[in-house]
C-alpha cells in the first residue's frame, strides 16, 4: 500500500515539475535558432505581393534571415522596428525581439543589414517578428 | 491682372478643399491589446504593429493585424493561442472593415476629441461578424488618433476553448485598440 502511494507521489512530483517547466518555459531562443531560409528583402516582398497565400505557406512562422538596406528605424513603446528597402512604398518590417538583448538598436539608413526572425505575414509590409541582427 | 487673381483664388480654394476634406490617414504601428481575466488565470497579449487606414472624407476605416504578432509573456500561452485557439497558420490575420457612422459629428480640420461610432465587419479566425463599437477620435496637430475599447466573444468567431480550460478563459475578451494615424 505504502509503495503505491510513494509511486503515485513520485508521479505527481514529476507531473508537477513538467507542468511547472512548461508553464514557465521561456520563448524560443531566437539567437541560437536555426535559419530555415535566407532571402533578400526585395524578393520576399515581391513574392508576397504576387501571391500572399503561397508565400504564407512557404514562409509563415519560419525562421528567416532577411537582408536589405535600412530605410527607416522606428522606436516606440519599447519596440524597435527596422524597415528594409524594397523600392516600393512598403517593404519588409523587422521588429526587434523584445526577449533578446541587442548590441545595437540604431541602424544607419542605407546600411545593408541582415535580421533573423519569424515571419508573421503581410500587413502592407512583410512583417518579421522576434528579430536579432546577424552578420 | 484679374485673370491671375481669379486663377489664384481658384487654386487656393482647391487646395483648401483638398487639405480639409479628402485625406487618407495611415499607421502601421497601431497597438491592439486584449485580456481575459478570470479567477483562474490572467491572460494578456499585445500587438504593436497593427495597421489602420482611414479616409476622412468617406469615414471608411480598415484595420489589419497579424495574429502571430501578438506577444504574450508566457511562451506556452502564445503557442496555445496560435496553434489551438486562433489557428494562425490557417488564418494569419484579423481584419476590420467599416465606417464611422456619425461622420458629420467629426471635424477633421479642427483639433479636438470626438466621440465616434464605427460599424463594420470584423473577421477573426476566418469568421466574419457585423460589429458596432464606440471610440474616440482625437484630431491634433495634423494627426488623427483612434482609440476604442470593446469586447469580443470567442464563440462568435468559432474559437474553441477546450472544456478543461473553460474556467481559465473569459467568455468576453476585452480588447483595446489605439493608433496614431498620419496623413498618407
Domains plus CATH for chain A? 37-134 (2.40.50.140)
B3 is a domain residue: no
B1 is a domain residue: no
Give the 3-state secondary structure of residue A35. coil
Closest in A26, A56, A93 to B75, CB measured: A26
A126: its cell numbers: 512583410
Q: Please tell me the predicted confidence (pLDDT) of residue A23.
A: 83
pLDDT in tens, B86-104: 999 999 999 999 999 999 9
Query: What SS3 string covers A71-110?
Result: EEEEEECCEEEEEECCCCCCCEEEEECCCCCCCCCCCCCC
B7 is a domain residue: no
For residue A45, which of A80, A117, A3, A93 has the smallest C-alpha distance?
A93
B45 is a domain residue: yes
Closest in B64, B76, B78 to A23, CB measured: B76
Q: Does B164 touch chain A (CB under 8 A)?
A: no
pLDDT in tens, A79-122: 999 999 999 999 999 999 999 999 999 999 999 999 999 999 99
Among B residues 10-49, those touching chain A with beta carbons less than 8 Å apart: 28-29, 31, 48-49
Average pLDDT over residues B138-164: 93
Q: Please tell me the predicted confidence (pLDDT) of residue A2.
A: 84
pLDDT band at B12 (very low <50, low <70, confident <90, very high): low
Asked if the Cβ–Cβ distance from B49 to A95 is below 8 Å, we say yes
Mean of the per-residue pLDDT values of chain A: 94
Closest in A56, A60, A74 to B29, CB measured: A74
Report the distance separating Cα A128 and Cα A81, nearest Å. Answer: 10
B105 is a domain residue: yes
pLDDT in tens, A37-73: 999 999 999 999 999 999 999 999 999 999 999 999 9
B113 is a domain residue: yes
What are the residues facing B98 on neighbouring strands? B61, B120
A58: chain B residues, CB-CB within 8 Å:
none
Q: How many CB atoms lie within 10 A of CB A43?
A: 14
Give residue B56's domain range.
21-183
What are the residues facing B76 on neighbouring strands? none
Mean of the per-residue pLDDT values of chain B: 91
Domain tally for chain B?
Answer: 1
Asked whether the predicted pLDDT for residue A78 surpasses 60, the reply is yes
Report the distance separating Cα B140 and Cα B126, nearest Å. Answer: 36
Q: What pTM was estimated for this model as a whole?
A: 0.87
Asked whether the predicted pLDDT for residue A20 surpasses 90, the reply is no
Asked whether the predicted pLDDT for residue B16 surpasses 60, the reply is no
B173 is a domain residue: yes
Report the distance separating Cα A91 and Cα A108, nearest Å. Answer: 17
The full DSSP string for chain B is -HHHHHHHHHHHHHHHHHHHTS-EEEEEEEEEEEEEE-SS-EEEEEEEEEEEEEETTTTEEEEEEEGGG-EESSHHHHHHIIIIIS-TTT--EEEEEEEETTGGG--TTS-EEEEEEEEEEEEETTEEEEEEEEEEEEEETTEEEEEEEEEEEGGGGT-PPPGGGTTTS-SEEEEEEEEEEEE-
Q: Please tell me the predicted confidence (pLDDT) of residue B10.
A: 74
Q: HSE (CB half, 13 Å, CA atoms) of B169?
A: 18
Asked whether the predicted pLDDT for residue A76 surpasses 70, the reply is yes
Q: Please tell me the predicted confidence (pLDDT) of residue B22.
A: 54
B167 is a domain residue: yes
Closest in A25, A118, A122 to B75, CB measured: A25
Q: Please tell me the predicted confidence (pLDDT) of residue B167.
A: 86
Q: Please tell me the predicted confidence (pLDDT) of residue B163.
A: 84
Q: Please tell me the predicted confidence (pLDDT) of residue B20.
A: 47
Average pLDDT over residues B6-27: 70
CATH number, domain of B75, equals 2.40.128.110
* Cβ pair A112, B84 in contact under 8 A: no
Nearest C-alpha in A relative to B63:
A123
Asked if the Cβ–Cβ distance from A81 to B71 is below 8 Å, we say no
Q: Which helix (H) or strand (E) holds A134?
A: strand A125-134
A131: its cell numbers: 528579430
pLDDT band at B15 (very low <50, low <70, confident <90, very high): low
Q: Please tell me the predicted confidence (pLDDT) of residue A135.
A: 84
Average pLDDT over residues B160-172: 85
For residue B28, which of A119, A109, A52, A124 has the smallest C-alpha distance?
A124
Asked if the Cβ–Cβ distance from A22 to B76 is below 8 Å, we say yes
pLDDT in tens, B43-86: 999 999 999 999 999 999 999 999 999 999 999 999 999 999 99
Amino acid at each position: 500500500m505504502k509503495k503505491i502511494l510513494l509511486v503515485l507521489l513520485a508521479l505527481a512530483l514529476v507531473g508537477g515539475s513538467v507542468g511547472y517547466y512548461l508553464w514557465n518555459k521561456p520563448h524560443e531562443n531566437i539567437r541560437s535558432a536555426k535559419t530555415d531560409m535566407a532571402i533578400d528583402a526585395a524578393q520576399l516582398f515581391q513574392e508576397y505581393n504576387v501571391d500572399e497565400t503561397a508565400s504564407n505557406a512557404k514562409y509563415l512562422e519560419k525562421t528567416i534571415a532577411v537582408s536589405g538596406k535600412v530605410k527607416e528605424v522606428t522606436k516606440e513603446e519599447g519596440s524597435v522596428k527596422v524597415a528594409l528597402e524594397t523600392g516600393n512604398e512598403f517593404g519588409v518590417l523587422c521588429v526587434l525581439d523584445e526577449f533578446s538583448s541587442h548590441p545595437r538598436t540604431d541602424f544607419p539608413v542605407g546600411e545593408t543589414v541582415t535580421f533573423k526572425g519569424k515571419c508573421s505575414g503581410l500587413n502592407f509590409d512583410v512583417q518579421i517578428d522576434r528579430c536579432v541582427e546577424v552578420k | 491682372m484679374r485673370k491671375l487673381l481669379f486663377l489664384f483664388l481658384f487654386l487656393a480654394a482647391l487646395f483648401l478643399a483638398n487639405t480639409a476634406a479628402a485625406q487618407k490617414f495611415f499607421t502601421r504601428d497601431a497597438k491592439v491589446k486584449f485580456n481575459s481575466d478570470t479567477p483562474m488565470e490572467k491572460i494578456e497579449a499585445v500587438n504593436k504593429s497593427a495597421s489602420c487606414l482611414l479616409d476622412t472624407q468617406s469615414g471608411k476605416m480598415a484595420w489589419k493585424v497579424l495574429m502571430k504578432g501578438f506577444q504574450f509573456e508566457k511562451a506556452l500561452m502564445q503557442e496555445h493561442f496560435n496553434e489551438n485557439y486562433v489557428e494562425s497558420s490557417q488564418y494569419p490575420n484579423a481584419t476590420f472593415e467599416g465606417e464611422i457612422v456619425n461622420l458629420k459629428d467629426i471635424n477633421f480640420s479642427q483639433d479636438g476629441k470626438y466621440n465616434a461610432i464605427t460599424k463594420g465587419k470584423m473577421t477573426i479566425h476566418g469568421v466574419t461578424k457585423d460589429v458596432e463599437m464606440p471610440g474616440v477620435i482625437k484630431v491634433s496637430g495634423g494627426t488623427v488618433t483612434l482609440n476604442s475599447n470593446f469586447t469580443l466573444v470567442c464563440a462568435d468567431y468559432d474559437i474553441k476553448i477546450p472544456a478543461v480550460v473553460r474556467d481559465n478563459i473569459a467568455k468576453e475578451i476585452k480588447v483595446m485598440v489605439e493608433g496614431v494615424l498620419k496623413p498618407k
